[in-house]
Amino acid sequence: MKRYLKLAVVAALSVAASQAFARNSVETYSIDNALKTGDGKVGSDIALYFAGQPHPTVLKTLSEAATNKKTNSFGRSDELACQHVFLSAVIALQERARAEGGNAVVNIKSNYKDHLTESATEFTCGAGALIAGVALKGDVVTLKK
């Protein structure tokens, strides 16, 4: 009888542990706060305009760029992990703009799990026990200077 009880306890703990690691919290965080944590990692040569932000006249639209970045979130708060991965996603958009000869990325939106969210002040991030992720979409353009 004790053997079956031990087996039941082990099974219950296994299920509880797997549920804890399966966590996927989807939250929004401040774009401005995340950009401030970048310490110069985000380039100033490619302008960034999030959905709804006014920007100079678009001379040419080069492409739609999308990025989906993940990072290890183990041992970090959700906010810190999400800020870190947001910076990676923004840098990827800037790299795409440089490669295509653009000078800006406009109309940037969160696209977490194909759910578009437009905001000039917040981005969407999914965070679990081990991984955090941010997906962004935007238009690579040449703006009038």
Q: Is residue 2 part of a domain?
A: no
CB 96 within 8 A of CB 68: no
Q: How far is CA 68 from its chain centroid?
A: 7
User: CATH number for the domain including 120?
Assistant: 3.30.110.70
Q: Is residue 7 part of a domain?
A: no
CB 68 within 8 A of CB 17: no
Domains of the chain: total: 1
pTM here is 0.84
pLDDT digits (tens, 9 = 90+) for 27-65: 999 999 999 998 788 999 999 999 999 999 999 999 999
pLDDT level of residue 13 (50, 70, 90 thresholds):
very low
pLDDT at 21 over 90: no
pLDDT digits (tens, 9 = 90+) for 82-107: 999 999 999 999 999 999 999 999 99
Q: Is residue 9 part of a domain?
A: no
Q: Is residue 14 part of a domain?
A: no
Q: Could you tell me the residue range of the domain that residue 59 belongs to?
A: 23-143
Q: Is residue 139 part of a domain?
A: yes
Q: Is residue 105 part of a domain?
A: yes
Q: Is residue 4 part of a domain?
A: no
